[in-house]
Amino acid sequence: MVLRPAFLRAPWLHFLLLGVLLYLLQARLFPPPAPVVGPLPQSRIEALTGQWVALTGRTPSTEELAGLKRTELEQDMLFQRALTLDLHRHDPVVQQRLLLNLRFLGLADADSSDADLFQQALDMRLHLGDEVVRRRMIQVMEQLIVASNPPAAPTDAEIEAAFEARSAELERPPRYSLQHVYFNREREPDVPDIALRIRDSAMTPQQALPLSSPFLHGHAFRHQTPEQLARTFGAVFVDRLMGESTATGVWIGPLRSAYGLHLVWLDDVTPARPAQLEEVREQLARDLTQQARTQALRAGVERLATQYEFRL
């Protein structure tokens, strides 16, 4: 016959064990409700739609609008999570923003310390309606999510694979060294005669420069890519220039730009060429790292979203 200690037969122990069991079952069968995010007010939906129209020139489809709303709710989720973790209480950007708001509203007591004023702003819940605070907290949460699962640095093999896949995109553009004589719009009727005079007299750029109108950006450009030239003269000018002969030491044009007409002298043209891996290795590494960070952030946001209830 097995003898059991007397306390094992005590009723209070049975009630205690039963209570623990019921507590564990309740937590498993009836978990606390997940925090709710959404739905968005109609004003925010209209603002999202307006931004989409401004960017694309058309209204979003039903699926596109659902995606916009989901993204916005995920931002709200990150903000909520940051507040739950009290991140706003320890962030200097948030503190300075709320102190600025409090003083702007004329509610700051000159004798109060910054710490007291900050607490006053929090008590007034100023942080909940401030877009700068919201964006800052979202940024901090995104940094925490990526830091919790940091992506590995890209390997040499990954860099080489990206180089092969993006070879056309990475091609080194042509570069132009040129000088020009500029004619503003008031002088355009005289341009054919002046251009003929310059050519017939075989003028050099230095000799022709006195015939130019003043040009804010200068009259000589060295080793410029088409993109750099387009920022100065406009895309139409660059398209015409690239369509001309690449012969150097001759006058081209007149070519039209956003400012007027230009008679162009090509000093040198370096043709486009394929990139070398070592030239773009750092760029590829940065791009791959950014892609990995984006993927890590997306995965982290999706994991966090499982803990919330989304109402579209």
Parallel/antiparallel/unpaired status of strands 36-37 and 309-310: parallel
pLDDT score of 127: 95
All structural domains of the chain with their residue ranges? 42-150+300-310, 175-270
Residue 53 pLDDT exceeds 70: yes
Closest CA to 95 of 123, 114, 111, 76: 114
CB atoms within 10 A of CB 133: 24
pTM, full prediction: 0.71
Give the ranges where the chain is alpha helix by DSSP (H). Answer: 11-29, 42-56, 62-84, 92-104, 114-123, 131-148, 156-165, 191-200, 205-208, 226-233, 235-243, 277-305
d(CA 163, CA 157): 10
Question: Mean pLDDT across the stretch 23-31?
Answer: 62
pLDDT score of 90: 95
57-80 tens-digit pLDDT: 999 999 999 999 999 999 999 999
pLDDT score of 244: 84
Q: In which band, very low, low, confident or very high, does the pLDDT at 153 lie, cut at 50, 70 and 90?
A: very high
Question: Mean pLDDT across the stretch 165-192?
Answer: 91
Q: In which band, very low, low, confident or very high, does the pLDDT at 31 lie, cut at 50, 70 and 90?
A: low
- Give, in order, the Cα–Cα distances in Å from 172 to each of 69, 270, 275: 40, 10, 6
Q: In which band, very low, low, confident or very high, does the pLDDT at 82 lie, cut at 50, 70 and 90?
A: very high
233 exposure class (CB count in 10 Å sphere: 0-12, 13-18, 19+): buried
Residue 2 pLDDT exceeds 60: no
pLDDT score of 22: 64
pLDDT score of 1: 45
Question: Mean pLDDT across the stretch 8-33?
Answer: 65
Q: Greater confidence, 146 or 247?
A: 146
Parallel/antiparallel/unpaired status of strands 175-184 and 36-37: unpaired
Question: Mean pLDDT across the stretch 92-114?
Answer: 93
275-293 tens-digit pLDDT: 999 999 999 999 999 999 9
The fold for domain 175-270 equals Chitinase A; domain 3 (3.10.50)
pLDDT score of 296: 95
